[in-house]
Amino acid sequence: MAKLVELRKLSGEFYKAYPHDDYPELESKLGRPYVVLLVEINNIKFAIPLRTNIRHAFCYKFRTSDRKTESSTGIDFSKAVVISKDSYLGEETDINDKEYLELQEKAFFIINKFKKYINDYIAFKKHGGNKYVARRYMFSTLKYFDEFLLNESDC
């Protein structure tokens, strides 16, 4: 099967550039490697983390995962980061076979759903929105990357 998706870890250099004290919404627990899905939209490279306990709708939840968790495993759009330097990427990595196959199968759908999330965020930042729209991005990491996102036209 051809490789459709790229899974990596974020490098130590990324975490030095974005320390937790200054960027509290970033996924960062000492000694815990975060697996990210790399996606490029409108010449911006994003790293979207895979998480084991997602309790909101701004994600893609795996349907075939057999891992024992309190909630759903999946790809968390709200914790996506912009990769502005290649040195922010660590080594390639693997995930659960069932989840990887589902990710390969659903790659186009996931990328389009993420693209909509990004476009909606850009529209919100440029034009505002009601309290329900604002709540969608309250804990999002995208706010740390406005310099990259808002200088571009809609993705």
**pLDDT higher than threshold 90 for residue 37:** yes
Residue 127 covered by a domain: yes
Would residue 61 count as lying in a domain? Answer: yes
Give the DSSP H/E element, type plus range, for residue 14: helix 12-17
75, burial (CB in 10 Å: exposed 0-12, middle 13-18, buried 19+) = buried
Whether 131 is in a domain gets the answer yes
Confidence tier at 152 by pLDDT (50, 70, 90):
low
Average pLDDT for 100-105: 91
Residue 31 φ/ψ region, left for φ over 0, alpha for ψ in the -120 to 50 degree band, beta for the rest = left
44 falls within a domain: yes
- Flag whether 152 is in a domain: no
Helices (H), 48-144: 97-127, 131-136
User: CB of 82 within 8 A of CB of 26?
Assistant: no
* pTM as predicted: 0.88
Q: Which residues contact 105 (CB under 8 A, 6 or more apart)?
A: none
Residue 151 lies in a domain: no
Our count of domains for the chain comes to 1
List Cβ neighbours of 153 (8 Å cut-off, separation of 6 or more). Answer: 42
Q: Which CATH number do you get for residue 23?
A: 3.10.129.130
Reduced to 3 states, what is the DSSP secondary structure of residue 73?
strand
Domain extent for 40: 6-96+104-145
In tens, the pLDDT along 63-92 reads 876 666 556 788 999 999 999 999 999 999
Stretch 2-25: mean pLDDT, rounded? Answer: 87
DSSP string, 87-99: GGEEEE----HHH
Round to whole Å and give the CA distance between 57 and 125: 20
Mean pLDDT of the 106-125 span: 94
Query: What rounded mean pLDDT belongs to the chain?
Result: 87
Query: Torsions phi, psi of 87, nearest 5?
Result: -70, -10
Residue 42 located in a structural domain = yes
Sequence-distant (≥ 6) Cβ neighbours of residue 81 within 8 angstroms: 10, 14, 18, 26, 36, 46, 47, 141, 144, 145
In a domain, 155, yes or no: no
